[in-house]
Chains A and B, each alone.
Chain A
Amino acid sequence: MMMMALLRSGTSTILPRYPPSILPRFLHSHATSFGFKQVQEDEKSKLVGNVFSTVASSYDLMNDLMSTGLHRLWKDRLVSMLHPFAGMKHLDVAGGTGDAAFRVLESINSVSNKALQEGLADTKQETKIFVCDINPNMLNVGKMRAIERGFGEDRSLHWVEGDAEALSFADGSMDGYTIAFGIRNVTHIEKALSEAYRVLKRGGRFLCLELSHVELPVFKQIYDYYSFSIIPAMGELVAGDRASYQYLVESIHRFPNQETFAQMILDAGFEKVEYDNLVGGVVAIHSGLKL
């Protein structure tokens, strides 16, 4: 009951829902990383599953505490960079509880957008927003939150269970692809990127919001101290689970830095690959264009 109440608080997770893996390129594919430890691949999904179920009950609260509420602004920024339009087909991967998808829908339905796009009224194309997540529980929670926010009757939202590395959508069927705080947890990032490339139409955009690396001299020290000392302590205090938040912080540090990840996106075939650092690099939004 309390878990449901917490889940309804209107935030979503930035913690892993996928078996996470940050593969240094020289590592054999059967071994992978779990934070700073090296584990077998099949063991990892169990470990991550454990992480998720342990933190599930208070992760909304923890997200707000860890990011001091900023994660809402970061998601707003992600969707404004996407610039949704009426009639678009959008895919939000690792969308779980639907944060990014709701923002896209609200942006399309907003009054100002309607006024701007009345010239498009004759096109009559139906907006479709797909929320894809590997975990059906998260999707259920998302459906409930949709009803609460008044999107229950909205035929644009579609909840799909699926794996980022093997999407069930047709080639060239999506105008936009977003993944917010999910790509860090994908086992093979390159596969997820090439799947993203596959499902996007020509002219479609890929946008990824993820915790990233801070390079600014003094701020880096402050951030490292905050990540390694304060966050696990907060986790212990609020959620009663230090280890999961230790894992979280370690996985952020193992994720490729901004330039490396941008190169991976380029390798997947995208063009005009850019990234915007928010809060000095704590979070980065990478974008790519498929042509």
Chain B
Amino acid sequence: MLKSSPAARRLLAGLVSSRRIGSPFSLLQLSTAAFDAASNPSTRQDQPPAHQAPETSNSREHDGEDHRRSTGKRGGVGYEEEQARVLRAALSHVPRLGWSVTAMILGAKDAGISPSIVGSFPRKEAALVEFFMDDCLQKLIDQIDSDMELDKRILSDRLSKLTRIRLEMQAPYISKWPQALSIQAQPANLPTSFKQRAVMIDEICHAARDQGSDVDWYVKRTVLGGIYSTSEVYMLTDHSPGFRDTWNFLEHRIKDAFDLQKTIQEATYLAEAVGAGLGNSMQGFMKRMFQK
């Protein structure tokens, strides 16, 4: 993925986020299976004919035991949507009860479903955290699509604005966010959380319309990923009103990283602009010379 083409971007986002493309043999199958809870079949894209979504049998190795799954969808609403409803209702209990099974049980009760459904989530609390991360990514994408002001600023401003939008989504849960981070850091959950973060950073970089290529593409995303994580952790102990200190911190880090580093592209554009400007003034000068 050298150039972040729209198709490649959607593929990456779709594989990990709530929009499900779903090929049972994809390399990121582990993460697609993990995101069943938040999948939204109504936005499914074109699939190869061999793949049938409702009756697919996926197989994956699970702790050395054989594990097979076939999904059956009866009636109008699939179990994934019900699970997503339960998780969404559970989010309202998180500030009080943390990212815990208790919050999920209360969420199930709010959704009018027996709390037994909590037993059907493979990694319980991690499912709740991953749902939240997916949800935030979706909200970020929606905001990017509707927000037109991004063109005007310089790169570092665009990046810091987008990162700030994303971090602000975590503000209501900030008291329990350390718990979410520790859940994401557990070995069983690490691959999924890493992929979610990678997709989010990619989304932000792409929305900032940064024309990177080759090594630069990876370097930018890694750097931004690092800045995002440090700002996230900074936010945990930030008690300033409206997280003002965090945004300051974020802006400074991004400026340091992205403005001082003169990429080839920006240097080229600068040279072209200067050249064009000089050329125009030369042309104008020559015209005036020869017209007179």
Could you list which residues of chain A lie within 8 angstroms of chain B, going by C-beta atoms?
81-83, 85, 88, 116-120, 123, 175-176, 200-205, 258-259, 262-263, 266, 269-278, 280-281, 287, 289, 291
Contact = CB atoms under 8 A, between A and B. Distances in A.
B117 A203 contact: yes
A266 B70 contact: yes
Interface in B98-147: 100-103, 105-106, 108-109, 112-120, 124
A201 B112 CA distance: 10
Contacts of B62: 276
A272 B77 CA distance: 12
6 contacts: A85-B101, A175-B116, A258-B68, A272-B69, A272-B72, A291-B79
Contacts of A81: 119
A291 B115 contact: no
B71 A271 contact: yes
A280 B64 CA distance: 9
A116 B105 CA distance: 11
A37 B74 CA distance: 37
A202 B86 CA distance: 12
A287 B120 contact: yes
Interface string B54-70: 00000000100111111
A277 B71 contact: no
Contacts of A271: 71-74, 78-79
Contacts, number: 109
B53 interface: no
A256 to B, nearest CB: 14
B157 interface: no
A116 B71 contact: no
B150 interface: no
Nearest to A277: B66
Interface residues of B, number: 38
A289 B117 contact: yes
A266 B57 CA distance: 13
Task: Please list the 10 inter-chain residue pairs (A to B) with the smallest Cβ-Cβ separation, ordered nearest first.
Answer: A203-B113, A83-B119, A203-B114, A203-B117, A277-B66, A201-B114, A266-B72, A119-B102, A175-B116, A271-B79
B113 A276 contact: no
Contacts of A116: 100-102
Contacts of B105: 85, 117, 120
B86 to A, nearest CB: 8
A202 B82 CA distance: 10
B66 A289 contact: no
Contacts of B109: 123
A262 B68 contact: yes
Contacts of B124: 83
Contacts of A276: 62, 65-67
B97 interface: yes
Nearest to B115: A85
B72 A273 contact: yes
A287 B119 CA distance: 10
Nearest to B111: A203
Contacts of A280: 66
B44 interface: no
A289 B115 contact: no
B153 interface: no
Nearest to B112: A202
